[in-house]
Structure 1
Amino acid sequence: MAFYICAALVTVIFCSFYYFMKKKYSYWYNKGVKGPTPLPIVGNFLTVMLQKESATEYVKSVHLKYKGEKLVGLYRGFKPVIVVRDPDLIKQVLIKDFHIFRDRGVSASSSRLSANLFGAEGETWRILRQKLTPVFTSRKLKEMVPLMQQCVDKFLKYVDYLVENNVEHEIRSLTSKYTLEVIGSCAFGLDLDACKDEENEFSIMAKKIFTPTTYARFLVLLDMIIPGVRKLFTTSTEIQEFFLGLVRNVIREREGKLAVRKDFMDLMIELREQGKLSRRNDDGISEIELDDYVIAAQALVFYSAGFETSAASMSFLFHELALNPDIQDRMYNEVCKVYEKYNGQLTYDSLKELPYLDMVFEETLRKYSVAGILLRKTLETYTFPGTNVTIPEGTPVMISANGLHADPEYFPNPSKFNPENFSPENKEKIPQCAYMPFGEGPRNCIGMRFAKVQSAIGTAAFLKNFKIERSPKTNTEFEYDPTRIVLITKGGIWVKISKR
């Protein structure tokens, strides 16, 4: 008798589980949205959870697989997620209906540094964006160019030393030294001497930011099944304490002095003296307290985005120049002409006279999209224009930037490195929101122009002095590390560098 009761109980549990799964995973089918078949409990992200591929690469594969579909349905655990493929609908999400898709919906950890410009939501984001925008005006960037030039000079001396002594050097770590030096100088007024100190505390911290611990990765994976669960767990405070200490030291050193550098920290100190940051809206005035933690949170984002992403882009660019000497020669000739015209110095205005360098940089960002997924969350029930698909408030939205960039519908022969994709006549043919290395709309990357300027100055100076060629360790195809936050190649990026 007991056996039959147990068997019946097991059957009931199994059937209940089956129908629960069937109901949960029929969500997109019932809405007429196609998508890959989910697995029980984990949904569509098993390979990401097992760290066999990154979320960026997985969503890219989904984008490319469902050709002709405007929308694709996925499940993150039990949570329905929609991937928007069509540039016109992407434009609706990122620009026209931005007020509905203002927030990223990033599930933050319990760290007090989570209140940063990248992850902030609602009025907090609006206030931070409004107050931080002055850091990246043309006038500010123009003032930063001499600081960048000093960093370039140190970088060139270091590379010259490597070449003179036949020291092999992986190009990603090499470009990281340059961008780290620039961020230290332009954001915090610090001389990091990154080229001399192999284990600078800033470079050590960068590795910790972009190489999450096993515990941190576990929390991210758990959060994929149970959204929001990360907030219930404490995380390491090492990164938080580092940036909090950095901010407090800089504030203490500059307190009571005139704002000479006019850099990121000068602006933060100026805003801090106001006590609270405010913004007038339809409901009155919104305010946030600008304490040391909020400043440290912005410093973390500025440091992370400005250092790692630009270093990655420059390293991929140098890799392609080693494989394409004709492109390198054309860039070199253009750079030499501008240097000659401006008496051996690059200025902010002279960068406008390097159109081919800009084309190569844009093509690098297309082929190697460092930040490959754009995330949004709907703040109300929304029907995508021209479709019958309606999603409820709180639905996560994903847009695969690197999927769009690898889509032959917008970029013929996308696996080929072809700067002509961004010639003036071809650039006009690219649909809006089909090319978005820095995002699009009001929530695009605030440091976009800073990234372009520091990369252009560093690349031009490097090409003026050095030639890049293949080495025996140069790979033509990359395998990417699925455990890393940004696009990182396994085995590094190796080229041969020689003097001009």
Structure 2
Amino acid sequence: MLWLYVILVLYIFYTFTKQKYNYWIKFGVKGPSPLPFVGNFGKVMLQKESVNQCVKDIYKQYSEEKIVGIYRGFQPILLIRDPELIKQILIKDFNFFQDRGISTSRSRISENLFSAEGEKWRILRQKLTPVFTSKRLKDMIPLIENCIENYLNYVEHLVENNIEHELRLLASKYTLQAIVSCAFGLNIDTYSDTQNEFTIMAKRVFSPTTIVKFITILDMIIPGIRRIIKSSNDISDFFLNLVRKVIEERKNKPMLRKDFMDLMIELKEQGNISGKNQYTGTAEIQIDDNLIAAQALVFYAAGFETSSATMSFMLYELALNQNIQDKVYQEIHKITEKYNNKLTYESIKELTYLEMVFEETLRKHSVAGILFRKCKTNYSLPGTKVILQKGTPVIISVSGLQQDPNYFPNPEIFNPDNFLPENKNKRPQYTHMPFGDGPRNCIGMRFAIVQSMMGIAAFLRKFKVIPSTKTRTKLRYDPKAITLTSLDGIWLKIVKRS
């Protein structure tokens, strides 16, 4: 009798699995065969491959398709490969795909700009955009210059004492100090004080515990389960205490800095803030310490980690391509001469070749690599027979697009000429999106560019990078890392220019 129950259970499971994994077949959408429970993300769940690499491999495998059907657990996901369809999703029909659909663990500070949905996101985006205007960025330049001076002094100490240093960690000391100074008005020593609370918290955010990793994997099998699990209070407490400390210090004082915290304090004093939408009318949200702390966490994490990664990848490529490094140095020397040998906000805009190198670094080493969107309502995908059901996730492989030989010839070769105006004009739009695109692109994009460009330009005026005995000619990426990370670190020799 027991064997009949076993057969019945197996039959029910087979029928259920077949029904779930027939979703894309009924629309005639091609895709890799899924495995029970894990779908197409088995290696990701076993932490043998990053999500970025997994999706990029599928992108490459179906080079003739505009769309590809895949599964995360039992959940169907549509991978968009075609630039015109990408434009449709990110721009033309943005109102259908406003939300990212990324589930986060419950905490007091989970309502941040990155993961917020619906009208809360619209209002937050509208109110926080003024932090990153050109005028605000110009006001931050003296703060960034001070951080650069500390950075260069530390690097000079390393060179004089022949101390090797991993480049990503080195760059993170600069970018962490810069974001803490520009966003929160605090001065921290990231160089001699390696155990400062901001550095420790950075490790907590980007090196999740085993429990957090398990919950992340479980969320792939049972989408949304993360939302009902309460996260650790350590990170929440840190940012709540930070916000309250800054608010108390600035209490009853004029808002002189006009930085992120000044803006948030100003919004908090308004009580509730509202926004108007042509589709849903007027909505309101309350600005309290929890909401401010949630935004602080996002700016903190995104402001230093992605920039430090990009800076280290750029220096790595310049070390392997000395002719490109020499050309960058000559441009920096020529432009700064026009500005009394100073790096200014205006001079950075004239470093066109350095900008091309920066763009090429972002192309070849896409730190995030994937854009996520969620369909808000049933949606008929233009030019196809596909009808996306409400809640269906849509993903775009930024790494796949940016390393597609159809758009970038010889994509494994580091070639800044990819971003000459004449070459950019030959490519379809939406094939290079390191900061995303559309209304939900990275709000801190301009700050990240200015911070990185100034830091790199100042570094290269004074130092040169060359390969060391520990430099790998081909990088291996960490499959367990949240963002693109070299498994072996990035080791180069830094030489002081004469």
TM-score (norm 2): 0.98
1:248 maps to: 244
Q: How many residues matched?
A: 496
2:111 maps to: 115
Alignment match of 1:20 (pick from 16, 21, 28):
16
2:102 maps to: 106
Q: Distance in 1 between matches of 2:281 and 2:379?
A: 26
Alignment match of 1:209 (pick from 191, 205, 212):
205
Per-residue deviation, residues 124-168 of structure 1 (Å, max 9, x unmatched): 000000000000001111111111111101100000011011111
Within the alignment, does 1:151 sit opposite 2:147 as a pair? yes
Q: What does 1:13-412 correspond to in 2, within 5 Å?
A: 13-282=9-278, 283-412=280-409
Question: SS at 1:191's partner residue?
Answer: coil
| Counterpart code for 2:23 | Y
Please tell me whether the aligned partners of residues 170 and 492 of structure 1 are also in contact (alpha carbons under 8 angstroms).
yes
Gaps of 5+ in 2: none
1:445 maps to: 442
Alignment match of 1:423 (pick from 420, 424, 437):
420
Per-residue deviation, residues 58-95 of structure 1 (Å, max 9, x unmatched): 00111111001011111111111110010100000000
Q: Distance in 1 between matches of 2:201 and 2:109?
A: 15
Please tell me whether the aligned partners of residues 117 and 128 of structure 1 are also in contact (alpha carbons under 8 angstroms).
yes
The offset of 1:9, in angstroms, is 2.1
Q: Distance in 1 between matches of 2:277 and 2:168?
A: 44
The offset of 1:7, in angstroms, is 2.3
* Shift in CA distance, 181/420, structure 1 to aligned 2, threshold 3 Å: same
The offset of 1:108, in angstroms, is 1.4
Question: SS at 2:106's partner residue?
Answer: coil
Alignment match of 1:482 (pick from 479, 484, 492):
479
The offset of 1:280, in angstroms, is 2.1
The offset of 1:284, in angstroms, is 3.8
Question: SS at 2:79's partner residue?
Answer: strand
Deviates more, 1:59-68 or 1:192-201: 192-201
Per-residue deviation, residues 365-392 of structure 1 (Å, max 9, x unmatched): 0000001110000011111111111111
Q: Distance in 2 between matches of 1:419 and 1:268?
A: 39
| Counterpart code for 2:489 | G
Q: Distance in 2 between matches of 1:166 and 1:226?
A: 51
What's the Cα RMSD here? 0.9
Question: SS at 1:442's partner residue?
Answer: coil
Question: SS at 1:443's partner residue?
Answer: coil
Please tell me whether the aligned partners of residues 212 and 484 of structure 1 are also in contact (alpha carbons under 8 angstroms).
no
Within the alignment, does 1:491 sit opposite 2:491 as a pair? no
Alignment match of 1:471 (pick from 468, 471, 488):
468
Q: Distance in 2 between matches of 1:235 and 1:101?
A: 27
| Counterpart code for 1:64 | K
Q: Distance in 1 between matches of 2:195 and 2:414?
A: 34
Q: Distance in 2 between matches of 1:416 and 1:342?
A: 34
Q: Distance in 1 between matches of 2:427 and 2:181?
A: 36
Question: SS at 1:67's partner residue?
Answer: coil
Question: SS at 2:357's partner residue?
Answer: helix
The offset of 1:430, in angstroms, is 2.1
Question: SS at 1:34's partner residue?
Answer: coil
The offset of 1:14, in angstroms, is 1.5
Gaps of 5+ in 1: none
Q: Distance in 1 between matches of 2:96 and 2:367?
A: 26
The offset of 1:196, in angstroms, is 2.2
| Counterpart code for 2:285 | I
Deviates more, 1:103-112 or 1:126-135: 103-112
TM-score (norm 1): 0.98
Q: Distance in 1 between matches of 2:486 and 2:306?
A: 13
Alignment match of 1:462 (pick from 454, 459, 462):
459
Q: Distance in 2 between matches of 1:288 and 1:109?
A: 21
Q: Distance in 2 between matches of 1:200 and 1:493?
A: 23
Per-residue deviation, residues 352-410 of structure 1 (Å, max 9, x unmatched): 21000000000000000001110000011111111111111110011010111111111
The offset of 1:8, in angstroms, is 2.1
Q: Distance in 1 between matches of 2:19 and 2:120?
A: 37
Per-residue deviation, residues 399-444 of structure 1 (Å, max 9, x unmatched): 0101111111110000000000001111112211111000000000
| Counterpart code for 2:212 | A
Please tell me whether the aligned partners of residues 474 and 494 of structure 1 are also in contact (alpha carbons under 8 angstroms).
yes
Please tell me whether the aligned partners of residues 211 and 483 of structure 1 are also in contact (alpha carbons under 8 angstroms).
no
Question: SS at 1:53's partner residue?
Answer: coil
1:8 maps to: 4
Per-residue deviation, residues 73-121 of structure 1 (Å, max 9, x unmatched): 1111111111001010000000000000000001111112210000000
Please tell me whether the aligned partners of residues 51 and 482 of structure 1 are also in contact (alpha carbons under 8 angstroms).
yes
The offset of 1:246, in angstroms, is 0.5
Per-residue deviation, residues 459-491 of structure 1 (Å, max 9, x unmatched): 000000001101000011111112111111112
